[in-house]
């Protein structure tokens, strides 16, 4: 990256001289460009996490309990005892309740994995170079002049 001519400081093209006041000393400023780096944040990308739903067939085994009735006929030849009580009698029919368990399935949301994202800021050093202009003094004298440089 180099500095374009329109980005250069036009003050470097002229020498600034402070007018002499009551003393005979004149001050001449020497100006030079310095390379300054500005840092700006810029988005260089992003991370997008997308979830999708897939359907998979699963089978599970469960134990179910139910009642089964066996009907056995036995010949009997006796009168009903007075203290015998049937379960439920309608006419000549005795009714016994039969109980069974019924299977009910349902879908339950279940967390099976979590993704944790951490953002960390990384600072890295980079070297940048460009051409800068600097003023240098070139002092020449004419005649028999003794110049004391400090």
Is residue 82, in this structure, part of any structural domain at all? no
Could you tell me the pLDDT band of residue 146, with boundaries at 50, 70 and 90?
confident
Q: Which residues of 50-60 are buried (b: 16+ CB within 10 A; e: fewer)?
A: eeeeeeeeeee
Tell me the C-alpha distance between 134 and 33, whole Å: 6
The answer, as to whether pTM is greater than 0.75, is no
CB 45 within 8 A of CB 32: no
Could you tell me the pLDDT band of residue 61, with boundaries at 50, 70 and 90?
very high
Identify the pLDDT of residue 3. 56
What total number of domains does the chain contain? 1
Is residue 131, in this structure, part of any structural domain at all? yes
pLDDT digits (tens, 9 = 90+) for 13-31: 665 555 655 567 788 888 8
Is residue 67, in this structure, part of any structural domain at all? no
Could you tell me the pLDDT band of residue 145, with boundaries at 50, 70 and 90?
confident
Is residue 99, in this structure, part of any structural domain at all? no
Is residue 108, in this structure, part of any structural domain at all? no
Is residue 95, in this structure, part of any structural domain at all? no
Domain that holds residue 5: 1-16+27-38+115-135
Is residue 33, in this structure, part of any structural domain at all? yes
Q: Which of 15-19, 43-47, 63-67, 102-106 shows the lowest mean pLDDT across its residues?
A: 15-19
Locate tokens 């015998």: which residue?
A: 84
Is residue 32, in this structure, part of any structural domain at all? yes
């Amino acid at each position: 990256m180099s500095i374009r001519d329109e980005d250069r400081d036009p003050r470097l093209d002229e020498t600034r001289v402070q007018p002499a006041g009551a003393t005979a000393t004149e001050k001449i400023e020497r100006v030079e460009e310095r390379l300054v780096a500005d840092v700006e944040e810029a988005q260089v990308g992003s991370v997008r996490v997308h979830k999708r739903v897939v359907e998979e067939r699963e089978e599970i085994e469960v134990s179910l309990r139910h009642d089964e009735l066996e009907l056995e006929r036995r010949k009997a030849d006796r009168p009903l005892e007075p203290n015998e009580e049937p379960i439920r009698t309608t006419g000549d029919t005795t009714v016994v309740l039969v109980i069974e368990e019924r299977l009910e399935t349902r879908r339950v949301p279940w967390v099976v994995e979590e993704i944790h994202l951490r953002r960390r800021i990384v600072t890295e050093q980079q070297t940048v170079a460009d051409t800068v202009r600097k003023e240098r003094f070139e002092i020449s004298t004419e005649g028999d002049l003794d110049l004391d440089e400090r």
